Structure 1
């Protein structure tokens, strides 16, 4: 199977068939072996502070974790020799977050948001990604480092 086709299939599944992602409105817009991006719009149900109308910190951490997981998953799949459904399922079944650090830089204000991730390191058992969250004005809201078991 071609990697791009695989990434499209996984993106479709994660965008449309994972209830938590749908609940929060997360949409994967880019998925490559080195870079991933998720976009979502402001919704009142994502509010953590009703006085300031800012994102809940858990939403921020969740999108950073997800976008880190997306880029690590793509990198993991890209390393499979002759990928097929069974090999991909076997690799992804062992995949999980080991550690997530979230640094909140400013209040999560905005109409829309984009989370991005890049690979820092991908070893045989552990992979690390660096993630960022920005609003539609380009204001840097948070960044994170995710460590994942691969």
Structure 2
């Protein structure tokens, strides 16, 4: 598995994102919500939820990369199902297909009460480092 970059990102540190699992094509990422992550109506901003989709799938993909490979998001789709007002959100992702240069994953974002907040898919490009 390639080394985690989540703790190296100032953005992820700022939004309190934590990688919980990155193993065997599965990724789980959690965010503890604070006021700066809310939109004007008091719900978690949609961009934060999209970030959970992207990051959780990224963690799942990273678990399948060889040491000499890196990946980058090339497509992201998020379906928002209900407003998020929870203090904690978690994205749980699974890789659907991993080819030589492309991987596709899907995720579900849950609140701390077990309500489904959003679903999403992402496509990542995979290439050798350097």
Q: How does the TM-score come out when normalised to structure 1?
A: 0.79
1:61 aligns with one of 50, 60, 74: 50
Please list every run of 5 or more consecutive structure 1 residues that lacks an aligned counterpart in the other structure: 78-87
Q: Distance in 2 between matches of 1:58 and 1:40?
A: 13
Please list every run of 5 or more consecutive structure 2 residues that lacks an aligned counterpart in the other structure: none
| Higher share of residues assigned helix | 1
| Higher share of residues assigned strand | 2
Counterpart in the other structure of 1:42: 33
Counterpart in the other structure of 2:113: 137
Offset of residue 33 of structure 1? 2.0
C-alpha root-mean-square deviation of aligned residues, in Å?
1.3
- Aligned residues, how many? 126
Q: Deviations over 1:60-110 (max 9, x none)?
A: 101110111111111123xxxxxxxxxx2x411xx2111000000000110
Question: Would you identify which runs of 4 or more consecutive aligned residues in structure 1 move more than 3 Å?
Answer: none
Q: What is the 5 A alignment of 1:1-150?
A: 3=1, 10-11=3-4, 13-15=5-7, 17-48=8-39, 50-51=40-41, 53-77=42-66, 88=67, 90-92=68-70, 95-150=71-126
